[in-house]
Chains A and B, each alone.
Chain A
Amino acid sequence: MARKLPAAEDQSRAPGFSRRNFLKTAGVGAAASTVVGVGGACTKEPTVIGPDATTLRLRVNGTTQTVTVEPRVTLLNALRNELDLTGAKEVCNRGACGGCTVLLDGDPIKACMMLAADAEGHEITTVEGLGSPDEMSPLQKAFVEADALQCGFCTPGFVVSGTALLAKNPDPTLDEIKDGLAGNLCRCGTYSRIFEAVQKTARRG
């Protein structure tokens, strides 16, 4: 009685994100050869990459990009150093601060704690994929209006986490906003304005 999760369906409705099932078969399936095992069941053959650099195909902000990196390279370093997407920040580099938050199939994750190779076959969205200075997303606009930053270093992570929160829960309570953003730290302490920016965006629908 395996059940599909409501979350997966929510993500499939968000623009720019494909269904996880599609990604699993299209992404991983394309990268690995398939053999028919005993009993007719389809079993893929194992793959081994590295320790030298290997070419990976990453779906980032709606386009397929290739990077040639060693297996130890994190998704964050691949995005920043290979693809020049420097919105996601390296701060604590241990999964504690949320400065490197990106979306993986619509879910926020910490890019410093994931190997780039593990992101193959998934849809990655960085803060650059949410909007641009000329065409900001509603939450990015609300951050500007609410003056929800001081040094700004944590801002991309908060915007990405906040975007994921609102995609799942379009009308969050203040407590739900705090829970949704609990994995992001702001050392300037602009939390109240960050919460305000998320609330403002929610109210505008």
Chain B
Amino acid sequence: MHNFELAKAYTTTQARDLLAEKPNSILKAGGIDVIDHLKQHLIAPNRLVDIKSVSGLDDIDVDRDGNLRIGALVTLARVAADEDIKKDFPALAQACGEAASPQIRNVATIGGNLLQRPRCWYYRLESYKCIKKGGDTCFAIAGMNRYNVIFGGGPAYPPHPSSAAVPLVAYGASLVLEGPEGTRTVPAGEFFVLPDVDPERENTLGEGEILTEIRVPAAAGKKSAYAEVRERAGFDWPVVSAAVAVEEDGGSVKSARIVLGQVATIPWRATKAEEALVGQPLGAASAEAAGQAAVDGAEPMTDNGYKVDLVTALVRRVVASLA
């Protein structure tokens, strides 16, 4: 592993100063993805700025109106175990509770989960200078692509790795980003960017910006669910995941958000499936229609056509679970 300085910040201002002070410095919180990158020789920073001890970023808070705020340093285990989140935002608790393994969830933060880099093996292997690492090819196109995307691909085709992002986009959550120019709040659905905008990044986090908080509006999770399909029942990356959040009015769906994970380069809004639900009562028929509509526009690669059928089945199942 490349050697580096380890700086510890206690405030976000200190963290930004420590970051700016030395060229080629990066932030770390739980450190799981950063250590993985170091071990794979994908990064060689001069300095890691550890923000794990920054105060005020590790609280879960529900205000009087029911709006949820989660500090970026809250671990996945805490999100999954939180009684308020389990009750009012069940898709988020479910997604965080199924991510990784118990040991990783005790260390990995929700902020890091949102900002982690893709898992595509060509990206993760040092020897492949793929388009995500400044090369000019996505090796998945002609290579082994069974885990790659069926939506939003080109010129790179890695699935977005975050489990937490899937329900957060479904809930219309927003992310608070603190940077040198001040603080901005970005809807989660606009934070993630397609590779045709910039194949080397997955989001719009700016230079020197720190993700400090996740905000979820009250009642967004009132009727919501999340499920994922893995090849192993235990600890494994999902091959497909889906979060559904609906608002009902007089027995039929007034609005719906259906978001797919692990099948697109960003958390993927299945807008046709959402449209298929609106105006319909929740039930077997609308679940079937939503499942069929969810794969609208799918462009499977050579080895991942199975994901199309999994999306249909999973969306049908998750919508039906809300009926």
Task: Decide whether A and B are members of one complex.
Answer: yes
CB distance from B255 to the nearest CB of A (A): 28
Contact code string B31-51 (vs A, CB < 8 Å = 1, else 0): 110011011000000011010
B81 at the A/B interface (Cβ < 8 Å)?
A: yes
Contact code string A43-57 (vs B, CB < 8 Å = 1, else 0): 111111111000000
In the bound assembly, the distance between CA atoms of A28 and B32 in angstroms comes to: 21
Chain A residues, CB < 8 A from B1: 72
A3 at the A/B interface (Cβ < 8 Å)?
A: yes
Given A6-B81, A118-B50: A113 and B107 interface contact (C-beta under 8 Å) = yes
Given A1-B61, A94-B39: A109 and B103 interface contact (C-beta under 8 Å) = yes
Considering only residues 93-116 of chain A, those with a C-beta below 8 Å from chain B are: 93-96, 98, 101, 104, 107-110, 113-115
Binds A, one of B3-11, B174-182, B298-306: B3-11
Given A5-B78, A72-B38, A114-B31: A50 and B4 interface contact (C-beta under 8 Å) = yes
CB distance from B254 to the nearest CB of A (A): 30
Instruction: Contact check, B3 vs A72: say whether CB atoms are below 8 A apart.
Output: yes
Instruction: Contact check, B107 vs A50: say whether CB atoms are below 8 A apart.
Output: no
Instruction: Contact check, B4 vs A47: say whether CB atoms are below 8 A apart.
Output: no
Of A49, A70, A95, the most chain B CB neighbours within 10 A belong to A95
Chain B residues, CB < 8 A from A117: 6
CB distance from A42 to the nearest CB of B (A): 9
In the bound assembly, the distance between CA atoms of A50 and B47 in angstroms comes to: 9
CB distance from A65 to the nearest CB of B (A): 19
A170 at the A/B interface (Cβ < 8 Å)?
A: no
Binds B, one of A130-138, A177-185, A194-202: A177-185
Contact code string B91-118 (vs A, CB < 8 Å = 1, else 0): 0000000001111101100000000000
Instruction: Contact check, A113 vs B104: say whether CB atoms are below 8 A apart.
Output: yes
Binds A, one of B52-60, B239-247, B263-271: B52-60
CB distance from A52 to the nearest CB of B (A): 9
Instruction: Contact check, B6 vs A28: say whether CB atoms are below 8 A apart.
Output: no
Q: Which residue of B lies closest to A117 (CB)?
A: B6
CB distance from A1 to the nearest CB of B (A): 5
Q: Which residue of A lies closest to B105 (CB)?
A: A183
Instruction: Contact check, A48 vs B63: say whether CB atoms are below 8 A apart.
Output: no
Instruction: Contact check, B235 vs A50: say whether CB atoms are below 8 A apart.
Output: no
Count of A-B residue pairs with CB < 8 Å: 123
In the bound assembly, the distance between CA atoms of A136 and B54 in angstroms comes to: 40
Instruction: Contact check, B3 vs A182: say whether CB atoms are below 8 A apart.
Output: no
B251 at the A/B interface (Cβ < 8 Å)?
A: no
Given A2-B59, A115-B35: A48 and B103 interface contact (C-beta under 8 Å) = no
Instruction: Contact check, A49 vs B104: say whether CB atoms are below 8 A apart.
Output: no
Chain A residues, CB < 8 A from B6: 48-50, 71, 115, 117
Instruction: Contact check, B11 vs A98: say whether CB atoms are below 8 A apart.
Output: no
Considering only residues 1-22 of chain A, those with a C-beta below 8 Å from chain B are: 1-3, 5-7
Contact with A113, one of B9, B35, B47, B62 (Cβ below 8 angstroms): B35
In the bound assembly, the distance between CA atoms of A65 and B52 in angstroms comes to: 23
Instruction: Contact check, A51 vs B52: say whether CB atoms are below 8 A apart.
Output: no
Residue ranges of B at the interface with A (Cβ–Cβ < 8 Å): 1-11, 14, 17-18, 31-32, 35-36, 38-39, 47-48, 50, 52-53, 59-63, 77-78, 81-82, 100-104, 106-107, 233-235
Extra inter-chain contacts (7) besides given A7-B81, A110-B104, CB under 8 Å: A32-B10, A46-B10, A48-B47, A71-B3, A71-B48, A115-B35, A183-B104
- Provide a sorted-by-A list of 17 A–B residue pairs whose CB atoms are within 8 angstroms: A1-B62, A44-B53, A50-B6, A70-B3, A71-B3, A72-B2, A72-B38, A95-B36, A95-B101, A104-B106, A107-B77, A108-B106, A109-B103, A110-B101, A118-B50, A164-B102, A182-B235
